[in-house]
Structure 1
Amino acid sequence: MQSAPTTPPTERRDGLLIETDVNLKPYNTFGLPAVARRLVRIREELDVRRVVDHPELGRASKFVLGGGSNLVLTRDVDAVVLKMEIPGLQVEERDDAWIIEAGAGVSWHEAVAFSLDQGVPGLENLALIPGTVGAAPVQNIGAYGIEVKDRLENVDVVDLTTGRRVTLPASVCNFGYRDSVFKQTGFGGLAGKSVITKVRLRCPKPWVPQLGYLDLERKMAETGITAPSARQIFDWVCEIRRAKLPDPARIGNAGSFFKNPVVSAEQCRDIIARDPHIVHYPMPDGSFKLAAGWLIDACGWKGKSVGGAAVYDRQALVLVNRGEARGAEVVTLARAIQESVYGRFGIRLEPEPVVI
């Protein structure tokens, strides 16, 4: 169980709540130890502009922290940490869709549950994914046949150099599998250059349930419910995720640690010839997505550990903190798994979390 946040030294300057030497262990779901030299709580968009205009903070490098659910901390953080806590949830109904507007600091699962409480279907497949709404487009989170890119209308983004706000439509976010312009560096990339302050999600009318996923098909077969409601799908997804994934409040983790690799049809045939039971899914472009958890399990990693870091004994795709793990141990374990999978299957697994 992670300890409650302690109260660090604080100073209110220029309208900002600035905290120093902040223990980040309670603020990352892996529960890894690290200290932020300076942390600013962002509770409205204006706070970002205040940071940019600040004579000292404005010139410093920035690190945006949401729910800390996609993060592996291996060291203290010298950059100014912007802790995103912007609240707000509301629904606008249009002729062709519902638009859900959420502040970047809202819990993602809270936003999904709120939509259903308001009678708005369309996000139910994305239930119980940890993290904040503001981080969801960055990672292009997805589950059970849906990704955020499928539901995103637009995002409000503030430039960390100029303080200028722009609204970006989904079409310019350059979404990929667990990727977006907000993670990308180089020309056109916004990684480290901007922060999302508000997100608008579009749930189209009429609602069409997304049921083409093995776990959901099993639920339909078990219950005999062939036309589930959005609320029923939400409940099923929560049950499935709770059965497979550990609760970060009880055992530290960052959810699925590796991306499911995508290979060509030829590569997939070669692997199937050697391992006929490999779990694979056809993609629209003719490629195949392989189940990274199956690959890791096939290499015998389930339950293995390095120091305080371990592979979850119920789902090989998840790495966990057994109590006092350090970030370096998580990274060492992850690299050993990558080498093992590459040695057997010739596939390089790519981590999902950001390593600091």
Structure 2
Amino acid sequence: MVVENHVPLQRLNTFGIAARAMRLARVRSDADVLALVRHPDWRWQDTFILGGGSNIVLTGDVRALVLKVEIPGRRLVHEDARGWLVEAGAGERWHDFVAWTLQQGWPGLENLALIPGTVGAAPVQNIGAYGVELQDRFHSLDAIDLETGAPLTLRHEHCAFGYRDSVFKHERPHAGGMGLKGRALITRVRFWLPKRWRVELGYHDLQRKVAETGITEPSPQQVFDWVCQIRRAKLPDPAVLGNAGSFFKNPTVTPEQCADIIGRDPHVVHYPMPDGSVKLAAGWLIDACGWKGKTVGRAGVYEKQALVLVNLGGPTNPCTGGEVMTLARLIQTSVYERFGIRLEPEPVVVG
């Protein structure tokens, strides 16, 4: 295992923010992780686990040992009359994995197409889009305890999944379970894809596709294509315009709070939830406050989607993490003052 020094991170985070890792190790196998855990020079070092870099904002150089997860692999673990159990290495690109499952004839992940990042990062964030969350398809995962080197296998009940949340985002015991932030490095993730497939078309953008095409019973591949078209139309490609995807979580409120907001702003975009709460569209709230297209230094609000903050400086003169977070705080204040809603950022702030 080779540990590199002073590694540029600009190409390793989708925001394209310039920063360096003081030390970085590329993890391509379980053996690489164990070598680091057992090495006297590294076993007690603070670590930062880096996947696809799609959900972070770097506000400075990273002093901790960066573990760049690049573990490959895709395979069918088991098949029976009920469904398929599919596994992927933590370093696999999430979108490529979703496309591969459909190519094999195993539907179920199509609503999660084109989400940036890696498979190993997906459970940490409990990624979700268009009516489906990772927890809906999650079976189990393998990880290694970075303190002891012990192997871990976690099933659904161990992961404390919530809205863009999991046990991997908490340092202390969470929701009655353990806290594994910075302690467990995920190596492989498994998904259960039922053969009794059911299309998920609950979101307005997908319903609009049904109306436009007249296809009322789309195939899994058709849903995949629709989701890709919708996301490409609304969200910038990080390879062209640096960003971390949706920057804020969609807030949930009580029906009474939602009714109060509707009374003042009848056009607010909202979705009733199974537990009786109401989810509000954070992008709509931000747009209603007039932030679309506004900038702070070289950080800006994407002109086509207010939920996305972007790097307007490009690769040669990129925005700083400080500019991004200043813009984010101004947006939070604006939304709170108008709607009484506190927006919570999705990305992890590092540095």
TM-score for both structures, normalised by structure 2: 0.96
Q: What does the per-residue CA deviation read over 1:96-134, in whole Å, with 9 as the maximum and x for residues that have no partner?
A: 111110000000001100000101100000000000000
1:185 Cα shift? 2.0
Q: Which residue identity is paired with 2:336? A: Y
* Correspondence for 1:298: 288
* Correspondence for 2:236: 246
Q: Which residue identity is paired with 1:47? A: D
Determine helix, strand or coil for the equivalent of 1:271.
helix
Distance 2:165 2:80 in 1: 29
Percent sequence identity over aligned pairs: 65
Which segments of 5 or more consecutive residues in structure 2 lack a partner in the other structure? none
* Correspondence for 1:133: 119
* Correspondence for 1:216: 206
Determine helix, strand or coil for the equivalent of 1:59.
coil
1:69-148 matched pairs, under 5 angstroms: 69-91=54-76, 92-148=78-134
1:94 Cα shift? 2.2
Does 2:336 align with 1:342? yes
Determine helix, strand or coil for the equivalent of 1:281.
strand
Determine helix, strand or coil for the equivalent of 1:101.
strand
Distance 2:345 2:194 in 1: 32
Q: Which residue identity is paired with 1:346? A: G
Distance 1:98 1:213 in 2: 26
Which segments of 5 or more consecutive residues in structure 1 lack a partner in the other structure? 1-15
Q: What does the per-residue CA deviation read over 1:142-164, in whole Å, with 9 as the maximum and x for residues that have no partner?
A: 00000000000000011010011
* Correspondence for 2:248: 258
Q: Please identify runs of 4+ aligned residues in structure 1 that moved more than 4 A.
A: none
* Correspondence for 1:12: none
Determine helix, strand or coil for the equivalent of 2:168.
coil
Distance 1:54 1:233 in 2: 47
Which of 12, 24, 29 matches 1:27?
A: 12
Determine helix, strand or coil for the equivalent of 1:162.
coil
Which of 136, 152, 160 matches 1:150?
A: 136
1:152-231 matched pairs, under 5 angstroms: 152-187=138-173, 188-231=178-221
Distance 1:100 1:70 in 2: 24
* Correspondence for 1:3: none
1:17 Cα shift? 2.2
TM-score for both structures, normalised by structure 1: 0.95
Does 2:61 align with 1:61? no
Aligned residues: 341
